[in-house]
Amino acid sequence: MIERYSLPEMAEIFSDESKFRRYLEIELLATAAHSELGVVPREHAQTCRDRAPVVDAKFVAEVSERERVTDHDVAAFVDVVQQHIGMPASAWIHHGLTSSDVVDTAWCWMLRDAAVLIDRALVDFYESLVNLANKHRSTAMIGRTHGVHAEPTTFGAKVALWALQVRRDRERLAAATKRIAVCKLSGAVGTYSNIDPEVERRVGAALDLVPVPATQVIARDRHAEYLWACASIGTTIETIAIELRHLQRTEVNEVREGFGAGQKGSSAMPHKRNPISSETLTGLSRVLRANLQVGLQDVALWHERDISHSSAERIVLPDSSLLVYYVLRRATKLVTNLEVDSGQMLRNLDLLHGVVFSQPVLLLLVSSGMSRDEAYRLVQELSAKAISTKTNFKRLLSSDDRVKLSSQKLDEAFDLNIALKRSQVVFDALSSDNS
């Protein structure tokens, strides 16, 4: 992942030093478990722990140098570790294991830790949405369908629905985290032919990972589910970002992204104030979905294993983790600093001279005895006239002899408070566990 979208706390999880520290801990835990089962002399297992190398930039460079000889990264890692520990104890490092035991367990460990960070960011984003929704519970605005004015809604209700979707994303992430927080130390083709299953159990317990049956590799549907959770979060954020981009258009101008002191919207046009965060989030969500496609294609492997998934995972698993964490932090900042123009929302709501109240008028006419089709055609005709002549829709209704409604009934049909009286229902869901 390019540095621009890498936040340090997530980048650290996937650094080479962090990866090799995890490899080393898995090897040491496995050696210790072997010693507890009487396979490895206890003093040798203790020597491995005592003489284990410090994993730093120098160590990473040593492994890289050794890989030029072995052309195998895990073999190079094992060679370097054994050189640091020294014989005879070092001979027990990687005993009974295959590369995927170490690599797959480390991947799951990294992704589990990444998911913890993502969940924290999800909570912060969710809370920022809930705060914005509550602040604008009663901020009336026009609801739009097909990009066209429909009926009144509130900005708070819109944001509350976003929050509920983020809550569902947390549930999806939790399920994916459970599925990925596993380990496998069952040797070549996964039959435990040269390693006791108790070693796997003990290493898993130490790392808080659940041992699972596997071939030589952990099944990749687990990793695909993790990538799906990341892509789903990105798509939720894109949903919000696209809406905010539309609402920031000059002709709409209902919300605006925060604009910092000294910020420039355009290198050429000083007046510009662009929705750059929303556009960035939209673009990055595409990458998250594209990475999911790679993850799904990685599920189908030859026989008990191949490495067609390996090269792709080195890119998509860290990148999706880094990206989803970045977009969550960026989206939280966007929502927290969002400027909402409630006055402009009201002006836009009345832009079509009241025709957005056409449905309550239609229903009142039906209640007065008119057939639905007759009432619909009448309201449709007068709505079109209101728009084309820029005339108040309510006034046209009042002056038309075909409309047999009292002024009180018409007032009720055009009462914004009545139109929005049940818009708070979404907040009931927000305050409950049912999303």
Residues recognised as catalytic: 146, 266
434 SS3 class? coil
Tokens representing 307? 């490495």
Rounded-to-integer distance, Cα 355 and Cα 385, Å: 10
Rounded-to-integer distance, Cα 255 and Cα 340, Å: 5
Residue 205: is it exposed, middle or buried by C-beta count within 10 angstroms (0-12/13-18/19+)? middle
Rounded-to-integer distance, Cα 223 and Cα 231, Å: 12
Residue 362's alpha-carbon distances to 26, 150, 355, 366, 397, in angstroms, are 70, 14, 11, 6, 11
Residue 180's alpha-carbon distances to 110, 227, 310, 345, 349, in angstroms, are 10, 11, 16, 45, 48
Tokens representing 59? 């160590």
Rounded-to-integer distance, Cα 150 and Cα 89, Å: 75
Output DSSP code: residue 54.
Answer: P
Q: Could you write out the DSSP letters of every residue in 212-235?
A: ---SSS--THHHHHHHHHHHHHHH
